[in-house]
Copies of this chain bind each other. A is one copy, B any other.
Amino acid sequence: MILTVTLNTALDITYRVPALRPGASHRVTEVSERPGGKGVNVARVLAALGHEVTVTGFTGGLTGRLLRERLTAIPGLTDALLPVSGTTRRTVAVVDERSGTTTQLNEPGPAVSPAEWQAFQEVYEDLLKGVSAVALCGSLPPGVPVGAYAGLVRTARAAKVPVLLDTSGSPLRRGIAGRPDILKPNAEELAELTGSHEPLRATQDARRRGASTVVASLGAGGLLALTPDGNWRATPPSRLRGNPTGAGDSTVAGLLSGLVERLPWPDRLTRAVALSAATVLSPTAGDFDRTAYEELRSRVVVAAEASAA
């Protein structure tokens, strides 16, 4: 059993419009909805890979009810979300059919009370007893302290459960102090954390700040992994055209599944890159194309990487 934590779950709404023009009125031609938030997306990919996954975090209101209904329909996925008095946020992705670009509008999320945050920490500690790995993913809703992830990382480490952290901004800066086993920043998050736009240097800096392993996702540049067992760079076979939404979450699912299956690092990275690429290629945002995934696995290139000075 793998546990994913999504403190700021979301109902992800996608609108397709012929062309988005600021200031104009648009008739939406297609509406789709699905449960979201990074940890929920990671869980969906893990479940599709055949893993048993428990989803926890906060949910509330009618949006939360809709999210839970959709979530329990996914085989292999257990809902351990904690109800809060606020309402789960929506995110709206507006896809411009002419240009193919997506404009994203994210609500901030429900205000979480100190009592709700306290209750979550207790539930989380209980859930850790039965799991082989945990991923802490995404933004924090209002009311949850900015140092939340550092505490959750420490609780996992005390329970001897390997813990992966995937967040940004201050929650990342503060969370890394808890010494997560794996940190998965993208290039932008790495630069914001370390001040360096040079990926290898920034990844090394992130490791020095407390993460045992840092796997940086560099978009078309693939993954750069600095681990206690060695350093690797894994790259997809070619530049991919498609929708990058959810590609980072598929990377996390690849790393976690490889961890619990005790795959060697190069195999974990191959899986993570292939899953991420197959997500970009999928016609549905956030899903991965299974045929592309199987085909890409044999074409990902993993090379040992020397440390920088």
Contacts and interface: CB of A to CB of B under 8 A. Distances in A.
Interface of A: 13, 15, 17, 20-29, 31, 62, 65-66, 90, 92, 94, 96, 99, 101-108
A25 B245 CA distance: 11
B94 A28 contact: no
A168 to B, nearest CB: 11
A140 to B, nearest CB: 13
Contact of A22 (B15, B22, B62, B106): B22
A105 B92 CA distance: 10
Please tell me how many copies of the chain the complex holds.
Answer: 2
Contacts of A17: 105
Nearest to A28: B107
Given A62-B65, A62-B66, A65-B62, A104 B31 contact: no
Contacts of A22: 20, 22, 96, 99, 101, 103
Contact of A15 (B99, B101, B105): B105
Contacts of A107: 15, 28, 31
Contacts of A66: 62
Nearest to A30: B108
Contact of A104 (B26, B29, B104): B26
Contact of A106 (B23, B27, B96): B27
- The listed residue with most B CB atoms (<10 A of its CB), out of A21, A62, A66, A105, is A105
Contacts of A20: 22, 103
A23 B105 contact: no
Contacts of A21: 103
A106 B13 CA distance: 13
B28 A108 contact: yes
A19 to B, nearest CB: 9
A104 B25 contact: yes
B102 A23 contact: yes
A10 to B, nearest CB: 12
